[in-house]
Structure 1
Amino acid sequence: MRAAARWTQAHLTAHRPAAVLTALATAGITISLLLATALFAYAADPWQRAFTQSSGAHVWIHTQGGAPAGSLAGLDEVRATSGPFRTVRTSASLQPGDARATLELRGAAKRPTTAAPQIVAGRWLDANTDAGTDAAATKGIVLESSVARAMWAKPGDTIVLSGFAAHLRVVGVADTAEVTFRAGETPGVAWVLPSTLDASDAGRDQRGRTIGLQLGDAADTDYVVQRAVTRLGADQITDVSTWRQAKAAAEGDNQLLGRLLGLFGLGALLAAALAVGGAISTRIRGHLRDISILKAIGFTPGQVVRMFVALHLGLALLGVALGALLTQVVGTLVPGRIGEAMALWRQLPGHAWLTLVISGGVVAFIGAATCLAAWRAGRVPPVPVARAATAAGGRASALTRRALGLRVPPALVLGWRGAFHRPLRSSAAVARLAVPLLLITIALGAWTTLDRFTSHPENVGLPAALTARSDTLGDRELRQLLDSQREMTAYPGAEVQALVPGQTGTITLRGLGTDARPYPGAVVEGRAAHGPDEAVAGQGLLDLLDARVGDWVRMTVAGRPHVLHIVGRSIETTDGGRVVSTTLDTLREGDSDDPAPRADAPPRPDFYQLVLRPGADPDSAREALSKASAGRLEVRETPNPADQLSAVRAVSVGLIAVLTLIGLVELATTVGAGVRDRSRDLLALRAVGLTPRQITAVIVSATAFITLAAALAGTTLGVLASQWLINLQGRASGWGAGIAQCPAPGTLLLVIVVAVLIAATAAVLPAARAARRRLADSATDLL
């Protein structure tokens, strides 16, 4: 034991930088995997917790006011219902002229037991205090938390609602497990007393009913929706939302962050295992004589293997412990969603055992790689065998002789030959060093794609920076106001909810632009919609309908069919890509065939998408519009996914740092192997007249050539892999392929140059020391 301890101490002293880098890289891998697990829990747990605590409904059916929604409670698959509630669609703001949010007011005499709103601030409605005694009294309202955040509303605030003579006072804010509010897409939910709902002067088109269905088996969701449509009729159902949509909306971009961290954490773990295994194999080759001596004095092969395994498992344990400790202590202090995820994860019951499982998995994985490499140490014979005195590479190749004849510097020629004269060993070194460089390139690809969303949103389906709408200005007046702004072009638009074939869910049917002025959307497959009945669709809709570009699709809007020809695929970052877009003229043509004008047919555009001139500032344009309209125009910035993915930048920086540490570990191994191999050739190199400086250059250039080959392979494969992975994620999220952006050639060149410079710099000092060693031409130097 004493001899093993002394050998371990001497080994660590001789390879101190590599040991430190190995421990730090293992710590970084552990942090990445723990943060990925926390983000996955953060993405899924809040919705699941709200659904469980509220005894949530699996399906929400929104119908016309006269539909017998209560009859759905008799379906065999339904275990319990929430409602039906009478509803009114309206818009609300804190002050007249402020930004307005669309609300679905539900009349509830008491707090429901199924899909019960969970009060997070204030209280629930009280019939004795919130009903009011006359039309002018202040009545109460409870807002769902997402719409309350969007309106900056809190208990005690007074809000103004269209169609209500009296203002309403916010008495509470509640969480639900339904689809959350999104401006221009999903209305916010609010609860009022039935008497308050009766005071609204809303028309029939704004009134309806909503019922939540809790099922015995969540897998029956689509079947129950079909039965509900059959029982009530497609013309009576205006919207359908399911628990899957609500969960996906709640998870949002945290799943993407979790996948990114998990992918790079596992990739870094693989790279670290390869680096550790390569380091052990290289050190075993460099210490064959020492291992033979250990066996000669009585060490068994098993003891030798256990020494190597114990040494590197100790480093892995140190790194894992450091990573777990840093995650627990500092994780909650990180600003943004990562810190929030860590704070939530620590409250979950499975937090402790998940931490142990992940930490143990990292140690076990690295330990497996260590055992495979250390097994070779047990096979070293106890009697050292002298190597052949001739060069391992044999005679110089014709290319080498020709390069020397062309007066190429001998250091470069001999460095190239030294790097690749053992193809199998050189290929292994290149592969191990290429793995972290490949992952770094993928991280840069994610960063570049995020920059594309920020700097060129028009290329990813977001040409309009602002959306404008007004409830007080006439359409002609509004159009004149927008046309007077020289920094923008206005495109009219309208949206309706449509039922897809099979009646299992709703999609967004959007009309943007006109035939005379088409909307400049980003089409990545096919072409833009120009003629009548032509449309472009998002990937989510194509997947939902199992359709392709060129197909005709049928959908139902308030009982009326619309048949559209899908001529292209666009990038749609909203509603999970379940969007079909056509021109406003085509959307209205589908409505005009009805002999009786429908209440939901938009008599005017619902909104205007504002595409700014290059270089225009959205904030300045919004202020100019607000001033020109005297506060009567509501202007919002178009949501950009990059705003919610800003944490990807910090994640990418951290991952690149971890991968750099792993690359340095492998680089230290490559340098050590190069110095050891060239040390055997020192006498021959000196005999042919090379100076110590030239010998140093030979060793440095050999390391640089190996790194250059790894950098070229890693960046090339990384570009291909990043394109495939990002587009795969885009397709899975419903956005569609075509969002990936390659890193700039200058960035890739910089990665290659920096990698080669780091390798050359790291090899200078060891090479200089080896070049100045005094060697004797003896068998001991050839072992």
Structure 2
Amino acid sequence: MRAMLRWAHADLRTHRGEGLFLVCATAGIVASLLLATALFGYATNPWQRVFAQSRGAHVWIHTGAAADAGRLAGLDGVTDVSGPYRTASATLESRGARAGVELRAAGEQPPTTGRPLLTSGRWLDPAVPDGVVLESSLARALWAEPGDLLTLPGGSPRTLTVLGVAESAEPRYRPGEHPGTVWALPRALAGEHSGQVVGLLLADQGDTDYAVQRAVTALGAGAVTDVSTWEQARADAQGDTKLLGQILGVFGLGALLAAALAVFGAISTRVRGHLRDISVLKAIGFTPGQVVRVFLVQHLAFAVLGAALAAVLIQFLGSRLPGRLGDAVGVWQGLPGHTAALLGVPVAAVLFIGATTCLAAWRAGRVEPVPVPLAPAAAGGGGLSGPARKALGLRVPAPLVLGWHRAFGRGRRAPATIVRLALPLLLITVALGAWTTIERFDSRPEQVGLAAALTARADERLGDRQAQTLLEGNAHIAAAHPGLEVAALVPGQTGTIALRGLGTRDKPYPYTVAEGRPAHGPDEAVAGQGLLDLLGVRVGDWVRITVGGHPQVLHIVGRSIEPENAGRVISTSLDTLRENDPALRPTLYQLQLHPGADPGTVRAELADASAGRLDVHEVTSPADRLSALRGVVAGLIAVLALIGLTELSTAIGGCVRDGERDLLALKAIGLSPRQITAVTVTAIGCTSLAAAVAGTALGVPVANWLIDREGHSSGIGAGIAHAPPLLQLLTLAVAAVLGALALTIVPAARAARRRLADTLSAVA
């Protein structure tokens, strides 16, 4: 044991840099996996906690005012109901902010099913008849707290007092897409009754579609205006945090594989370079198992140290990370499975690296106890090939030819080294592709389904013609597309989707069509990927949906990029919707701005010009919700760069050792130390160039595939991936090659100036 420790210590002193790289790379990999675990827990558990504590309903059904919603309590599989509650649509104003809301009549005591969980303030009080309780996401949008006054505009404006703020397991407030929930006493809805809502608690949460279908059949399709399920609410609550966790997990696993291959290459190269030392160890009594344990314990120590470092940093400093990452770690640390994950992830990573280490160290145990001199062919990689001899005949400098031969004339070792060097570069290219795609949402929003920068909604005091004139009169607005968005029942009546009518046939809305063609003719529409998956249809199919009890048959002629509503959107022109109901009037305007126009400035100008009769919101971009991903990508690139440096140091060490065996022959043919150094530098340069070309060339299609797959699964749809700019890829490849050359010069020059006696002992 003492001899094993001394040999391991001497080897560590010789390869300090490589050991440091391995520790840092392992720490980065384990930290990425722990952050991914934290994000997954953060994405699911807060909503799950609210759902469990509030005894949340599995299905919420919105109906007309005349529907007998109370009869749904008798449906098979329904164990309890919340409501029915009278509802009314309204707009609330607070501190200059406006939001569309659903006023919901509630009792003096919170309901037992679908109960809002108060986070501040108190519940409704008959002593305060104008008191209301706001859902938490709505309260944040209105900057409202208990005690604040809200304005309810209309023919006779009145004020409401915020008594409390509560969390709910229902879908959260999204401007222009989903109204916020406001609980109020029934007298606050006097004269404003426009509908009902009822929540169904099911015996089996997997029977959601069946329960919705039974409810729609019982009430009639014309009575049901909207349906939301617990799966939709959970997906809405998870949002892009789950996406961030998936990206971190994929990159973490890829980096773990790259690190394991780097460790395998390091041990294999070290075994080849220490054949004589290993033979001596066996000659003095070391068993094959002891030799294997020397390498195994040494590299496992690196892995354990890096994993422990990552676990400590995440545990004590993770909650201090900025933005969503810090929030996720803080919440994750309070979850029941936190301790198990904090220990399990590092242990799993160490075991994976250990398994790879065992495979490589096993070769050391097979070394013969009597050193066998290397054959000349084995040492030099074989005689010169035909192209190499032809290159020498054409007076190509000998160092370049011999360096190329040393890089690619070593049998299976050369491809293996290139693969290990190319894998980190491939993952870095994928990371750059993710970064470029996010930037594209900011720089080219019209290419990813975000042609409009603002959404304007006119109140009842402003007519359609006046609104259109007001919008077209602004010099910064390039086009104002009238439209409306309504909830529609899908075939089978198991859920609702968004039916959107935007633009006219004369001035169509510029949808981003990734497959098929834009909708031009009557009854033509484009649909998001989420809707195609939900209905099981493809471009070219006809679909029948129900709007307010009236069927609407549309021909899907294209698939559009839809960042909103999980892609469950079908879009057509306003003219097509008016063919079935000529009385339809636009309820919103999608505003395209001239290049360089500031959305905030235009929003303020429209608010002033309309005297508050236009409610204008900026269109939310997925890039805003994925801003934390930029920092994550930068950190992942740093980790992958460490892994690449580790593998590069291994490749340099192996190439230098091969050069030591050829040193006598190279000096014998008249090469100077500088030329001998050039041979080694050329060999590493050729290897790194091949790895850079392979990594970047394969990384671009892999990045496009991964990003489009994620876009498809999220409902946005494939077609959002954007390859990194060619200049960026060239910079990456050039930086990799120049860095490899710079790191090779010093050890190559030192080996070229070794004494002949040292060279003889190395090959003996």
TM band (smaller chain): over 0.9
Partners of 1:466 and 1:635 within 8 A in 2: yes
Structure 2 Cα separation of the partners of residues 581 and 393 of structure 1: 65
Which SS does the other structure have where 1:490 is aligned? strand
Q: CA deviation at 1:624?
A: 2.5
Report the equivalent of 1:574: 564
Whether the aligned pair in 2 keeps the contact of 1:144 and 1:190 (CA below 8 Å) is yes
Q: In structure 2, how many angstroms separate the alpha carbons of the residues matched to 1:672 and 1:781?
A: 14
Secondary structure at the aligned position of 2:115 is classed as: coil
Task: Give the counterpart letter for 2:41 in structure 1.
Answer: A
Match of 1:180 in 2: 172
TM-score (norm 1): 0.95
State the alpha-carbon separation in 2 of the partners of residues 315 and 282 from structure 1.
Answer: 17
Q: Deviations over 1:351-391 (max 9, x none)?
A: 11111110110110010011110011111011001112455
Match of 2:142 in 1: 151
Which is worse superposed, 622-631 or 377-386? 622-631
- Equivalence for 1:461: 449
User: What CA distance in whole angstroms lies between the structure 1 residues aligned with 2:713 and 2:697?
Assistant: 25
Corresponding residue of 2:163:
171
Report the residue type matching 1:702 in the other structure.
A
Task: State whether structure 2 residue 534 is matched by structure 1 residue 547.
Answer: no
Q: Which position in structure 2 is the counterpart of 1:82?
A: 82
Rounded to whole Å, the distance in 2 between the matches of 1:616 and 1:684 is 70
* Contact residue 388 and residue 782 of structure 1 kept, 8 A: no
1:697 is displaced (CA, Å) by: 1.0
- Tell me the alpha carbon deviations over residues 323-375 of structure 1, each in whole angstroms, 9 at most, x when there is no partner: 11111121111110000000001111111111111011011001001111001
Instruction: Encode CA deviations 1:225-245: one digit per residue, 9 max, x unaligned.
Output: 000011000000000000000
Q: Report 1:11-22 matches (<5 A).
A: 11-22=11-22
**Residue aligning to 2:732:** 751
Q: CA deviation at 1:398?
A: 1.9
The aligned amino acid for 1:160 is T
Amino acid at match of 2:78: V
Match of 2:590, SS? strand
RMSD: 1.3
**Are the equivalent residues in 1 in contact too, given 2:663–2:759 (CA < 8 A)?**
no
Are 1:518 and 2:508 matched, yes or no?
yes
Aligned amino acid, residue 706 of structure 1: T
Shift of 1:168: 0.8
Secondary structure, counterpart of 1:167 in structure 2: strand
Gaps of 5+ in 1: 132-138, 593-600
The 2-side partners of 1:770 and 1:710 are apart by 25
Give the structure 2 partner of residue 365 of structure 1. Answer: 352
Please state if 1:499 is matched with 2:489. Answer: yes
**C-alpha distance in structure 1 between counterparts of 2:693 and 2:753, whole Å:** 33
Cα offset, 1:777, TM superposition: 9.1
Aligned length in residues: 759
**Aligned match of 1:272:** 259
| CA deviation profile, 1:504-561 (whole Å, cap 9, x unmatched) | 0000000111111011111111111111111100000111111111111100001000
Q: CA deviation at 1:394?
A: 3.1
Distance in 1, matches of 2:758 and 2:740, equals: 30
Partner SS state of residue 756, structure 2: coil
Q: How does 1:595-674 map to 2 (within 5 A)?
A: 602=584, 604-674=585-655
CA distance in 2 between partners of 1:508 and 1:552 (Å): 17
The secondary structure found in structure 2 opposite 1:682 is: helix
Instruction: Give the structure 1 partner of residue 325 of structure 2.
Output: 338
Question: Paired residue for 2:721?
Answer: 740
User: What is the identity, as a one-letter code, of the residue corresponding to 1:37?
Assistant: T
Aligned to 1:590: 580
Distance of aligned partners of 1:620 and 1:409 in 2 relative to their CA distance in 1, 3 Å threshold: farther
Secondary structure of residue in 2 paired with 1:549: coil
Distance 2:535 2:411 in 1: 52
Q: State how far apart, in whole Å, the 1-side matches of 2:79 and 2:411 are.
A: 68
Contact 2:262 2:420 in 1 (8 A): yes
Aligned to 1:113: 112
Q: Does 1:406 align with 2:394?
A: yes
Aligned match of 1:420: 408
Helix, strand or coil at the partner of 2:182: strand
CA contact (8 A) 1:445 1:742 kept: yes
State the alpha-carbon separation in 1 of the partners of residues 48 and 683 from structure 2.
56
- Quote the residue 1:135 is aligned against: none
Q: Work out the CA distance in 2 between the residues paired with 1:636 and 1:196.
A: 27
| Contact 2:664 2:759 (C-alpha < 8 Å) held by counterparts | no
2:476 matched to which residue of 1? 487
The 10-residue stretch of structure 1 (174-183 or 159-168) with the greater mean CA deviation from structure 2: 159-168
* Deviation, structure 1 residue 402: 1.9
| Aligned mates of 1:435, 1:227 — CA distance in 2 | 53
Query: CA 1:184–1:777 in 2, change beyond 3 Å: closer, same or farther?
Result: closer
For the 8 Å contact 1:460–1:571, the answer to whether it is kept is yes
- 3-state SS in 2 of match to 1:9: helix
* Pairing of 1:284-433 with structure 2 (within 5 A): 284-390=271-377, 392-433=380-421
**Matched letter for residue 485 of structure 1:** N
For the residues of structure 2 that align with 1:328 and 1:211, how far apart are their CA atoms? 43
Q: TM-score, normalised by structure 2?
A: 0.98
- Matched residues in 2 for 1:627 and 1:106: separation? 31
After TM superposition, the structure 1 stretch with the greater mean CA deviation from structure 2, 386-395 or 617-626, is 386-395
SS at match of 2:581: helix
Indicate the SS of the match to 2:266.
helix
1:29 corresponds to which residue? 29
Corresponding position of 1:771: 752
Structure-2 change in CA distance of 1:624 and 1:196 (3 Å): closer
Preserved contact between residue 30 and residue 252 of structure 2 (Cα < 8 Å): yes
CA contact (8 A) 2:278 2:369 kept: yes
Structure 2 CA distance for aligned equivalents of residues 622 and 183 of structure 1: 15
Report the counterpart of residue 64 of structure 1 in structure 2. Answer: 64
Pairing 1:125–2:124 present: yes
Give the letter for the 1:575 counterpart: N
Displacement of 1:665: 0.5
d(CA) in 2 for partners of 1:627, 1:141: 29
Counterpart position of 1:195: 187
Per-residue CA deviation, residues 746-766 of structure 1 (Å, 9 max, x unaligned), is: 111111000001111111110
**Deviation for aligned residue 1:251:** 0.3
Report the 3-state secondary structure (helix = DSSP H, G, I; strand = E; otherwise coil) of the residue aligned with 1:494.
Answer: strand
Q: Deviations over 1:404-448 (max 9, x none)?
A: 222222222111111000131000001111111111111000000
CA distance in structure 2 between the aligned counterparts of 1:222 and 1:481, rounded to whole angstroms: 44
Rounded to whole Å, the distance in 2 between the matches of 1:393 and 1:321 is 41
User: Equivalent residue of 1:252, what SS?
Assistant: helix
Partner of 2:659: 678
CA contact 1:51–1:176 (8 Å) conserved in 2: yes
User: Could you list the per-position Cα deviations for residues 210-238 of structure 1 after superposition, in whole angstroms to 9, with x for gaps in the alignment?
Assistant: 10001111001000000001100000000
Q: Higher mean Cα deviation, 609-618 or 453-462?
A: 609-618
Task: Find out whether 1:556 has 2:546 as its counterpart.
Answer: yes
CA contact (8 A) 2:484 2:501 kept: yes
Q: Secondary structure at the match of 1:423?
A: coil
> Please, which of 209, 213, 217 is the counterpart of residue 230 of structure 1?
217
**Which whole-Å deviations, capped at 9, do the CAs of 1:625-644 have from their partners, x for residues lacking one?**
22332333222110101001
In structure 1, distance between residues paired with 2:381 and 2:45: 60
